[in-house]
Structure 1
Amino acid sequence: MALYFFRISHGDYAGASDHGTEFESHEDAWAEMTKVCSNFLASISRNLKQNSEWHMELLDEGRKPVFRIRLVAESVG
């Protein structure tokens, strides 16, 4: 089993969990990340400002990103 950490960034805020979570595979880690992200998405999108970005990353034991989900709000035109 491998140890993973979640990190969320939004504007000036960036924070990573201090306590890791063990998963048997990258696929299991991805499945959990998408579940956690979906729980946050409604409140995040309601409060997202124009031209801003929110993202969640799953970090490996060395705190290097393995997966990233991004929500980007852009003004076009």
Structure 2
Amino acid sequence: MRSLSVTLLFPPFGVLWGVMFLGERLSVAHLYGGELICLAVWFVLSKSTPKQEPSPASDCSNNLTALSDFSSDWLVAT
């Protein structure tokens, strides 16, 4: 995901290079758009810890442990 976030920076740098090398005028809309893009990049790159689902293999081992506990309790009770 981090490598894709670089593509979000193409428009601001295109505007910057247009102003520097081609003599284009910079407007307030360009600045607001640049801020919006920087905010989007920050959201994409911010550290968030996704909730990890348990793997199917761990579910099976937990079920087998519970089954063996149940069967041993059942055998003792009868």
Q: Check whether TM > 0.5.
A: no
Give the strand-richer structure, 1 or 2. 1
Give the helix-richer structure, 1 or 2. 2
Q: TM-score category by the smaller chain?
A: under 0.3
Larger Rg: 2
TM-score, structure 2 as length reference: 0.27
TM-score, structure 1 as length reference: 0.27
